[in-house]
Amino acid sequence: MSEMFKISLPDGSVREMPAGSSPADVAAAIGPGLAKAALAARVDGELVDLTRPFTGDASLALITSRDEAEALDLARHDFAHVLAEAVQALFPGTQITFGPSTDDGFYYDFAPKDRPFTDDDLPAIEAQMRKIIAADKPLRREVWDREQLISRWKQQGESFKAEWAAELPGDEPLSVYWSGDDWLDMCRGPHLPSTGKLDPAAFKLTRVSGAYWRGDQNNAMLSRIYGTGWLNKKQLGEHLTRLEEAAKRDHRKLGQEMDLFHLQAEAHGSVFWHPNGYVIYRALEDYMRRAVLKADCKEVKTPQVMDARQWEQSGHWGKYREAMFVIPDEVPNTEDGGPLVSNDADWMALKPMNCPAHVLIFRQGIKSYRDLPLRIVENGCCHRNEPHGALHGLMRVRQFTQDDGHIFCREDQIVEEVRNFCALADRVYKDFGFTYAIKLALRPENRFGTEEMWDMAETELRNAVAAAGLNTPEYGWEELPGEGAFYAPKLEWHLTDAIGRTWQVGTIQSDRVLPERLDASYIGEDGAKHRPVMLHRAIFGSYERFIGILIEHFAGKLPVWLAPVQAVVATIVSDADDYAGEVTGQLRAAGIRVETDLRNEKINYKVREHSLAKVPHLLVVGKREAEEGTVAVRTLGVEYQKVMTLAEAIAMLVHEATAPDLLQA
């Protein structure tokens, strides 16, 4: 009689299965419907193929399309493999490299034999992928001896795969997956049971770009093919609709139409703010200044350039040096090409963040426990040498300004300070109409500080979120292992915009490392020196990125208090020019940002033009309005117009042009 294994199921039942059986056998034993629906399995918590045999007693959870997150990741991984197989079928001699899943799809990197791939190749590749899916080819796992696999890759001319197989850590055998009996790739898995489990109408190849082998610009340039993949056609359609809507909301396009900003090569990665855009910037700056001053924060200003030794002491020099703009004391002789500097101590650097400078402010003078908490904030301009290919409009730039702040406090003040910050962040995000999820990013593998420090910091942040009532499913509470900063765990606020995209913006971090490294201390009640805890906090993150998010969230139709031009007074006939000037003067006197349009153009032309510029209100005046002292108000996005007295229109605009914190005061 063969050995029997006890397989525990999520409903608490236990099935006895003979040795050599697999999760697929359990699914079949339960019923044909489940056998057809099953895609993969979790065995003792590990995600595996349905056909992986049990090795002993185990707990089992079968994965179906109802387990959407896991099913999507499996499907996208398989789409990537099918993509690679299709490319090699159509373009013999192409070498394969890597093909992971992504947040909304997949990609695969190739080394073409003759020429780089282009977008024109995508339709043929898609058609070949659908043939492979229709063939319903079994996806079968095998384990190969490492040297045997390397030899095979070399024989087939797959030099990239051979190199990677040789450099994988450890000396264990390597797993490969066959697609049918004629194509294989090296992969840890797991995979779906067959290509036929993919919906041929649920994917689309989107673009081709260049990518360096293993991300190193010194290596060969590859062709990367991107795709988006989903579980069914409906999900794909919804995703493509979101992409279309996102394209309409692209802050770079709207920024040009609204004359807000531009970027150009002479200052690559830095923003040229136009008058309209700078109005938005200043309105946000004024709003945040009022918000933090109400929270009993003191505003400071610190230098742009600091000695490299300061950055080395803080730990940033070792972690961020490649991303820092460095200024040598010695200017090189361009004739003999001499060295820039003799050693790191001669270097200065533009600050990539504000925190070390804020510690230096804290260290001025002796601090007592009675002085804490000390809350300082700075609209601090920072510079980071982001890779050229990573720059993206306002979303990722090299020069940016943070709404940065640091709270120096005692151990017993941490939870209350973090709880208060959570309340402030909640107020700010709601003022802009955002919902959000809050997450705790935990200690990374490469970090400073003791385990005790990290234990305390993570516990304090958990307790603060609980005290604020935010550690609930309603707020998307989640813990993210390994995603903290090198010096501290952090709470992260992930905003959801009008079309369902998420943006990580605000943070607060509980840091014991930097005060230790930079020797910050205060005199305690016992008369001895103690280290303060340093809470790093920001709400917008950076003004540039937050403005980009706002433009896309509102599709350019900013709230009146943020709009660069809040109203335009437009004439129907020239006889109303004098009255239009009078209306404009009264609006300006009331503090409204208003312009006058007296051009000899039809009113419908003026309406279209100012609608494109996203002006919230158009006040139309003609002969009748001039005689009656009224205005016809056309509001952006509203089909009808409303006739008001001038006094009513001014009152309405003054109310809408008042920033939210003043409205609620």
Q: pLDDT tens digits, residue range 611-623?
A: 999 999 999 999 9
Rg (C-alpha) for the chain, rounded Å, is 31
399 has catalytic annotation: no
- Please identify which of the residues 76, 251, 536, 545 carries the catalytic annotation: 536
Supply the pLDDT for residue 341: 45
- Please identify which of the residues 404, 497, 511, 597 carries the catalytic annotation: 404
384 has catalytic annotation: yes
Pick the CATH number of 4-64 from 3.10.20.30, 1.10.10.350, 3.40.50.970, 3.40.190.10: 3.10.20.30
Residue 236: pLDDT band (50, 70, 90) is very high
Q: Is the pLDDT of residue 596 over 60?
A: yes
Mean local confidence (pLDDT), 53-66: 93
530 has catalytic annotation: no
Place of tokens 């039942």: 13
Residues 6+ apart with CB under 8 A from 560: 566, 616, 617, 653, 656, 657
Q: Is the pLDDT of residue 639 over 90?
A: no
Q: Is the pLDDT of residue 335 over 60?
A: no
404 has catalytic annotation: yes
39 CB-side CA count, 13 A: 26
Supply the pLDDT for residue 324: 85
- Please identify which of the residues 406, 462, 614, 617 carries the catalytic annotation: 406
- Give the number of residues written for the chain: 665
Supply the pLDDT for residue 654: 96
CA distance 328 to 326: 6
Q: Is the pLDDT of residue 624 over 60?
A: yes
- Please identify which of the residues 42, 73, 137, 355 carries the catalytic annotation: 355
Q: Are 602 and 643 in contact, with CB atoms under 8 Å apart?
A: no
Q: What is the mean pLDDT of the chain?
A: 91
Query: What is the CATH architecture of 265-304+351-553?
Result: 2-Layer Sandwich (3.30)
Backbone angles phi, psi at 478, to 5 degrees: -155, 145
406 has catalytic annotation: yes
CA distance 640 to 657: 21
The class of domain 567-663 in CATH terms is alpha beta
Q: Is the pLDDT of residue 574 over 70?
A: yes
Domain 69-239 belongs to what topology? Threonyl-tRNA Synthetase; Chain A, domain 2 (3.30.980)
Backbone angles phi, psi at 658, to 5 degrees: -90, 130
Q: Which two tokens stand for residue 554?
A: 């509102």
pTM to 2 decimal places: 0.80
| Helix 275-294 and helix 543-553, axial crossing angle in degrees, nearest 10 | 110
Q: Which two tokens stand for residue 535?
A: 């809470």
CA distance 23 to 17: 10
Q: Is the pLDDT of residue 340 over 70?
A: no
- Please identify which of the residues 128, 310, 402, 509 carries the catalytic annotation: 402
Q: Which of 135-149, 229-243, 441-455 has the lowest mean pLDDT?
A: 441-455
Q: Is the pLDDT of residue 345 over 80?
A: no
Supply the pLDDT for residue 268: 86
- Please identify which of the residues 42, 191, 439, 490 carries the catalytic annotation: 490
Mean local confidence (pLDDT), 378-399: 90
Amino acid at 88: Q
- Please identify which of the residues 383, 384, 537, 614 carries the catalytic annotation: 384
Strand, coil or helix: 347: strand
Cα 328 to chain centroid, rounded: 34
Domain boundaries, the chain: 4-64, 69-239, 265-304+351-553, 305-350, 567-663
Q: Is the pLDDT of residue 158 over 70?
A: yes
Higher-scoring residue by pLDDT: 312, 196: 196
Supply the pLDDT for residue 342: 45
Supply the pLDDT for residue 21: 92
Sheet with 490-496, strands from edge to edge, namely 298-299, 374-383, 399-409, 533-538, 502-511, 490-496, 435-441, 478-480
Residue by residue, DSSP assigns 328-343 as ESSPP-TTTT--S-SS
CA distance 538 to 404: 5
Q: Are 583 and 631 in contact, with CB atoms under 8 Å apart?
A: yes
CA distance 511 to 536: 7
CA distance 167 to 161: 10
Helix (H) or strand (E) holding 206: strand 203-212
Q: Which two tokens stand for residue 340?
A: 């820039």
Q: Is the pLDDT of residue 665 over 70?
A: no
Other Cβ atoms within 10 Å of 207 Cβ, number: 12
